[in-house]
Amino acid sequence: MRLFPGFLILSTLLTGCASLTEDECAVGEWARIGANDAAQGLKASRLTDHKKACERYNIEPDQTTYMEGYRRGLVAYCTPTNGFNVGRNGYTYRTICPRDTETGFLSGYKRGTTLHNIETSIAQVRDSLREVRTQIGELRAAPSKENRDARMRLYSEENRLENEEARLGRQRDAALVNADIFLQNINPDI
């Protein structure tokens, strides 16, 4: 399957710390800063954080240039492929896409989020399975009638978790096929 294109516009640096350094404020590449903010899925109100950061250095951001860059960044961010990647990585969509691109973005985002949620559930089931198997091993080491009854309950729980893991695995496989078809339909080159 060819699920993930070589590009992922979404940066892993989705942080809320001090937005800009003195040098960044002084250089004032506001179009680039706006484009980067949008490409990271941040709201345009991020400019307020930049204003506060630059205020310390008596520098005023160029709001018009920032917004021009921000709009360019939205073009890159608000795609169905990026929507899938945002959802697949478990990021929150902040409702920043214009109406004309939001439907496509959300179509990808929904598929990515579904896959992310299934994979999160699989990881939780596997953690529970490890815990149950550890408990079974501990009870085997000290045989007694009480331990035997507890082991039987744990074997039943182990079986239930194994079935749940298999069910979720089938769901994940179906979601992967669905995502692959979706991504190929929107970008046949992947």
pLDDT digits (tens, 9 = 90+) for 79-92: 999 999 999 999 99
Per-residue pLDDT, 144: 86
Cα gap 33→117, rounded to integer Å: 32
Lowest mean pLDDT among 21-25, 30-34, 186-190: 186-190
Element (H, E) at 148: helix 145-186
Specify whether the CB–CB gap between 28 and 61 falls below 8 A.
yes
Above 70 in pLDDT, residue 6? no
Continuous segment of H or E residues that includes residue 44: none
pLDDT for res 56: 93
| Cα–Cα distance for residue pair 32/38, rounded to 1 Å | 10
**Which of 45-54, 64-73, 135-144, 163-172 has the weakest average pLDDT?**
135-144
Q: Using the predicted structure, report yes or no on whether residue 64 has a pLDDT greater than 90.
A: yes
pLDDT of 15 over the 70 cut: no
User: Is the pLDDT at 10 greater than 80, yes or no?
Assistant: no
Contact partners, residue 105, CB within 8 Å, separation at least 6: 77, 78, 79, 80, 82, 83, 93, 97
pTM above threshold 0.85:
no
Q: How far apart are CA 76 and CA 9, in angstroms?
A: 7
Given a cut of 60, whether residue 13 has pLDDT beyond it is: no
Residue 143's pLDDT is what? 80
Region at 90 (left for phi over 0; alpha for psi -120 to 50; beta for the rest): left
Q: Is the pLDDT of residue 75 over 70?
A: yes
| String of DSSP letters for 63-129 | HHHHHHHHHHHHHHHSSHHHHHHHHHTTPPP-S-S-HHHHHHHHHHHHHHHHHHHHHHHHHHHHHHH
Whether the Cβ atoms of residue 113 and residue 175 lie closer than 8 Å to each other? no
What is the overall mean pLDDT for the chain? 90
Boundaries of every domain in the chain: 10-77, 78-85+95-190
